[in-house]
Amino acid sequence: MTRPVLEPAKGDSKSSKISSVEACPRLCMPFKIKNADYVKSVSKLSDLPKNRFPEIAFAGRSNVGKSSVLNKLANIKKLAKISSTPGKTRQINFFLINKNLYFVDLPGYGYARVSKSLKESWGRLVEEYLKKSQNLKGVILLLDARHQPFEADLQLIQWLDFYRREKLVVLTKIDKLSRSSLLVNVKKASKILNLDSDSLVLFSAKTGEGKEKILNWISGLLD
């Protein structure tokens, strides 16, 4: 079993918060991305962007399709580089959206063929960012719809709940499954994650299914 990158701090736990796609009221204005640009990659918190724009972080295992999600949301094919080698993202990447919001691409976990010390340094970097960033509004956790959630995914969810970070769980690569298989996997994931299946967003970078639900969730956090 893969060891989690992040582990909740010891001490008194805090009540968890579960975000859903209903975070954006029905009457809120749809969130549209007009422009998006890569800004910088950082390997230490002191190098984080100095302006105080709100941030939406994207987390998930290596090869879960984070780059494809980011590119689809922004309607830019090569905004985030798609690598055939899992685990290539080794820093925290910042993308400026509409000149007043950051999409934050966190290093993937689980598959990267790197040294143990480097994996641990990624874990510390991501943990410190998620725990200390005052601009972080929410975290979008990406899970591959073809597989059941892994131990590391469950640990990250527990960690986010402990620190009361808003989260949205998105199942990616749904176009690679038949509809019947997808429904079975959604039911299994819902049970394992202890979340209502309606709170899970089904996403396809190929068809764009789920895109508007993600953008509406982000809009609700920014209101």
The angle, 0 to 180 degrees and rounded to 10, between the axes of the packed helices 179-193 and 151-162 is 50
Q: By percentage, how much of the chain surpasses pLDDT 70?
A: 77
Residue 51 CB contacts under 8 Å (≥ 6 apart), including other chains: none
Summarised one tens digit per residue, pLDDT across range 142-188 is 999 999 999 989 989 998 999 899 999 999 999 999 999 999 999 99
| Strands of the chain, DSSP E | 36-42, 55-60, 92-97, 101-105, 136-144, 167-172, 201-202
Summarised one tens digit per residue, pLDDT across range 81-133 is 754 444 455 789 999 999 999 999 998 886 545 555 555 666 788 889 999 99
Return the biggest CA–CA distance within the chain: 49
Amino acid found at 82: I
| Cβ–Cβ under 8 Å, residues 18 and 199 | yes
DSSP states of 67-121 as a string? Answer: HHHHHHHHT-TTSS---SSTT---SEEEEEETTTEEEEEPPPBS---S-HHHHHH
Confidence tier at 10 by pLDDT (50, 70, 90): very low
Domains of the chain, each with CATH number or no CATH: 25-222 (3.40.50.300)
User: pTM for the whole thing?
Assistant: 0.83
In the predicted model, is pLDDT for residue 9 greater than 80?
A: no
pLDDT score at 28: 52
